[in-house]
Amino acid sequence: MNFDSFVLAAATADLHDEPDAREHADCVEFRMDLADDPLTALDAYDGELPILATNRAEWDGGEADDDATRLDVLETAVEYDAVEAVDIELKTMRDGGTTGTGQPGVDGERVAAHAREHGANVVVSWHDFEATPGMGELQETLREACEYGDVGKVAVTAQARADVLDLLVATRAATAEGDTVATMAMGEPGRHSRAVAPLYGSRIGYAPVDPAEATAPGQYDLTTLRKLIDTLAGESQA
């Protein structure tokens, strides 16, 4: 999967949604932690869109509560040809993550290395579900995520529109330094960041095919986000 240009991911726990995503999406973010039997679903997948596999930990907003198991499953997922990118939490890359007992988990570097051996890119992600950190922390977090991953992803929660301005400045600065980043602000005050951030260098956007199945606060549905991004991109080139 090429992140040299913007990629719009249709977020879903059901790969049967893929045909409905083809018109507007560039890939499918498969939320394995929300699926009943994700490896069986990958085995049966015959869609056209490449897959960004995510098996989000419970401690980072997902539903996978056993780090050892979820990372083993993620490691197996990258062996499928359709899986062209994988999402691993920054905390997991730092220290292996945290199991439900608070003990060190398995090493995220192993999953990342296995993904690259199979030609998949690594998105290293960091989420703040409560607020937007200060500019210094934002920039340092983006740099660290990019050191571990092919793409550094930071998703914050905007309490006010000024938080989005900080995020956009950090996005632009990281892009100017040559890093490949994906940024967005969750929550209603930050909703417009999902359409605007690509203008400042963000390379991945996320949207559900079905608006009722949003996987993060403030997501637009897929059709709306594609139209907004394409319209703003056209205006910026005019």
| Residue ranges at the known binding site | 29-31, 56, 194, 215, 219
User: Concatenated DSSP letters for 38-93?
Assistant: HHHHHHH---SS-EEEE--BGGGTSSB--HHHHHHHHHHHTTSTTEEEEEEEHHHH
Residue 153 annotated to the active site: yes
User: Concatenated DSSP letters for 157-195?
Assistant: E-SSHHHHHHHHHHHHHHHHTT--EEEEEESGGGTTHHH
Kindly compute the dihedral angle of the four CA atoms of residues 77, 83, 89, 95, in this order, to the nearest 10 degrees. 50
Report the SS3 class of residue 23. coil
Catalytic site residue from 24, 91, 114, 153:
153
Sign of the alpha-carbon torsion through 59, 51, 210, 171: positive
| Annotated binding-site residue numbers for 3-dehydroquinate | 29-31, 56, 194, 215, 219
> Cα 86 vs. chain centroid, distance in angstroms?
9
Distance between CA atoms of residues 116 and 184, nearest Å: 25
Catalytic site residue from 91, 114, 127, 227:
127
Distance between CA atoms of residues 231 and 137, nearest Å: 32
Which candidate, 210, 122, 135, 206, places its Cα nearest to that of 169? 135
Beta bridge partners of 8: 205
Residue 91 annotated to the active site: no
Query: Which residues form the catalytic set?
Result: 127, 153
